[in-house]
Amino acid sequence: MSRVHNFSAGPATLPETVLRQAQEEMLDWRGVGASIVELSHRGPEFIQVASEAEADLRKLMSIPDEYAVLFLGGGATTVQALLPLNFAAPGQAADYVLTGHWGKTAIKQAKPYVTANVAASSEADGFRSIPARDTWQLSKDAAYLHYTANETIHGVEFRDIPDVGDVPLFADFSSSIASEPVDVSRFGVIYAGAQKNLGPVGITVVIIRRDLLERAGQPRADILDYRSHVKGESMLNTPPSWNWYLLGLTVKWMLAEGGVEEFARRSARKSALLYDVIDSSGGFYRNEVDPGVRSRMNVPFFLHDEALDKPFLKEADAAGLISLKGHRALGGMRASIYNAMSEAGVQALAGFMRDFRQRHG
């Protein structure tokens, strides 16, 4: 079997070694005679899987003890609705910085529960930049400030953690988590859908500074209360155990590969290679994002003639380079190059792009 180079934005490619281990353990996990997905989430076997996953993630990301780590279903979009319910009082303001599609989604989910203030937005320039920090209009006594660390669709990434004083910083790290060292202590909440860098779709990591759990928040059902999830160790209801298991294998793989420092180096090389192909193409390819905030994870680009889009995708597929079509909100192409995308895969794409330009330019 020959595996292709999969540039999907999510669900995204997983490490082959992780998939092979999951395949080997599918019918019999560590000699118990049953699959981990068949075993009780409250049994000793799965408790071991869950404990190892948390310990490994804490090690990978250097998560301090004063932060709780949750592994939940519902996706990042559900988290966006739960943040104001758990951490903002009724009628309290919360600030949002919008730099792309997912920032807009976050504020949409929050609006029923909080006075959502758009502190800054780059929508006017098509989400090609990040507004300068000194232009942000912050609310007085905001419950938190929320931003999207990396915009998967528009290819815009914060390269520094914004300083907002004493206001808790909440961030959606779905598409860049564990891709480089991050000072977790700078944040109140970090959350991420797993399906880009941490594992499969269907499980979400939420990292919460424990003192924030003392906030009363707003009236909500127990299942929507992060305090209850922390107390129940992410098992307030039956968790997505298979997804949790795969996440654990993926985190172990990242540790074995050298951790976030190594993946930061790889990401820098991979993204630089693609941007160089684009920038040196004489306009055949173009990326419209401010170079200072270009994403290392998602590289959107356009061909100079839209009539070439279909031939590009068809020929790329034939070359074993799949899932390069851009999101419908933006069009064009997009190469997602998360941690599990090999440098060989990016080199193959770069070579294809150069060859396609020579044949169609």
Name the residue type at position 267: S
CA 37, CA 203: separation in Å to the nearest integer? 14
> Would you state the structure tokens that stand for residue 178, as one six-digit string?
């564990």
Catalytic residue among 95, 172, 244, 325: 172
Name the residue type at position 101: H
The answer to whether residue 136 is catalytic is no
Q: DSSP letter string over 37-81?
A: GGS-TTSHHHHHHHHHHHHHHHHHHT--TTEEEEEESSHHHHHHH
The answer to whether residue 279 is catalytic is no
The answer to whether residue 270 is catalytic is no
Catalytic residue among 196, 252, 270, 325: 196
Catalytic residue among 29, 56, 95, 102: 102
CA 213, CA 218: separation in Å to the nearest integer? 12
CA distances from 357 to 308, 333, 360 (A): 10, 14, 5
Residue 339, classed as helix, strand or coil, is coil
The answer to whether 191 and 204 have CB atoms below 8 angstroms apart is yes
Q: Which residues are catalytic?
A: 102, 172, 196
